[in-house]
Structure 1
């Protein structure tokens, strides 16, 4: 089964981690159809994380939002999305044409998330996605939050090549972010990362580092990075609806001595940003203060950083 589900990079990452058998077990969760219970789950969601490459091949992650029902599984192999990225979003232009996309529907209030990958074509009001892979992920490291709808108008994007001081503080205090990657053939994936505030270390205005915690051994993200280093990150301000997009490259640090210095880390990931886009008021959702996941490892004090 693993040979059918995983590509060469994912299997290489599983071998390096010594988790080929666990990865093969997790592969049984991957399917090409949306189960009925998952179709009901999608109808309840007000947001979707989407990852794709732009026309220059740079990976980006973005956030699509709508009233519950804006995500609709018309049948077991098709998802319609009644939303597209707004002007100024790094994927706005790209998604006016057919594109390979990775998607993550996540419900923080109930610690649920669902991954979907496929091929999107634009519609008059959004996207029509033919699905290749559908699977749920474990609820670890999701901080519990309740959402409410608050109308918002996205501000013009602020673009830079490096993080400002305010953006660095935003990331240093984040307990959640999303990452988009792809395999060698361009098949995209979107994933969630969570931990206690401070789990993402700002090494410099262009370099971030975070621990890779124990997961389901599928290694979708790290497997992609084994064969294609391009990656996109998305940080959301849960209080204001602002979003911070970063694109660049990422690599996995497999040195066990480095991981041993970070609580809970199985390995480390280092990301180098080449472009940064901040958009105030991008999302019409506001979220309650988080209840941290009980699985979050402790975070080292800043003075102990690598």
Structure 2
């Protein structure tokens, strides 16, 4: 089948000079869920979902559950059981038929990932679950993915702990120490969720409401950067792997191109939510990807929340 690239992605591909490579990679994108993909999905304890809330803000959220809570229920459909936690910015919209969503399933144990974009299925919305009718399904390479082992799925109380318009000092430290985050973008009616990884410090906090990170070489599709050309809205999700806490940011992003060919994405924060998922996942420390570029020493400090419930301070990784 192959992918029909949106205007923004085509613009970036031409600017960077990767149109031929992008066409080749795009042939791997389909609308159907193959058997190997269905098996992969049923093994995962979490799924990242991107969508636009009722106020027009774009968010990336993490849904968790025992393996099997996400499964293929048809050749072009996945069903997610358990629903969205109360207080999550996407709790209402994922129950609305026709809502555009982007999803990514990532397995830190094997460094495998799968992306599925589509819309909430009007015929499969029910209490405690929702389904997505797939429009695009494809896998990505393991580049920049850190390897981790699961420690526990903690079925304890959770919820939103803090809301704001800028990052607190603890949240700044959390971001600086991150080796992984997820980004949701949207353009031309569709939504996509993707992964960004690197060594701690690859995401910079330039001000309490300003972040930046390098755009490392990838698969040449430029779906995320392409979306930002035509719609600057973006949603970021920073999971704290060891504690299971989540940091969600919504705002606007733009890409800067340097004369040496490097690219930097600059993100302006509009809204911040810090929370603990009621079924939060805890993982081991990372085995860093050998593809991660080096980061300037001293840029990563602090790590965000501790595993104990209700803790507001920082800890040491």
Give TM-score, length-normalised by structure 2: 0.90
Provide the residue aligned with 1:29 in structure 2.
Answer: 28
The answer to which structure has the higher helix fraction is 1
Does the residue aligned with 1:140 lie in a helix, a strand or coil? coil
Distance, in Å, in 2 between the alignment partners of 1:282 and 1:224 is 32
1:286-297 matches, cutoff 5 A: 286-297=282-293
Contact 1:63/1:283 (8 A) holds in 2: no
Please report how far the alpha carbon of residue 187 of structure 1 lies from its aligned counterpart in structure 2 after TM superposition. 0.4
Tell me the alpha carbon deviations over residues 10-66 of structure 1, each in whole angstroms, 9 at most, x when there is no partner: 111101111101100100110000111111101101100000001121110000111
Aligned residue-pair number: 294
TM-score, length-normalised on structure 1?
0.93
Q: What per-residue deviation string (whole Å, max 9, x for no partner) do you get for residues 179-217 of structure 1?
A: 00011x220000000000000000000010000111000
Alignment of 1:25-174 (within 5 A): 25-98=24-97, 99-121=99-121, 122-147=125-150, 148-174=152-178
Equivalent pair of 2:251/2:271 in contact (CA under 8 Å): yes
Unpaired segments ≥5 residues, structure 1:
260-265
Residue in 2 that maps onto 1:299: 295
Q: Is contact 1:141–1:193 with CA below 8 Å preserved after alignment?
A: yes
| Aligned residues of 1:241 and 1:282 also touching (Cα < 8 A) | no
CA 1:283–1:163 in 2, change beyond 3 Å: closer, same or farther? farther
Does the Cα contact within 8 Å between 2:154 and 2:278 map onto a contact in 1? no
Gaps of 5+ in 2: 300-317
- For 1:179 and 1:230, how far apart are their aligned partners in 2? 10
How far has the Cα of 1:157 moved from its partner?
A: 3.8
Q: CA deviation at 1:170?
A: 0.3
CA RMSD of aligned residues (A): 1.4
Q: Secondary structure at the match of 2:175?
A: helix
Deviations 1:264-300 (A, max 9, x none): xx31100000100101355521101100000000002
**SS of corresponding position for 2:109:** helix
Alpha-carbon distance in 1 for matches of 2:159, 2:116 = 29
Q: Which residue of 2 aligns with 1:217?
A: 220
Structure 1 CA distance, aligned partners of 2:240 and 2:102?
22
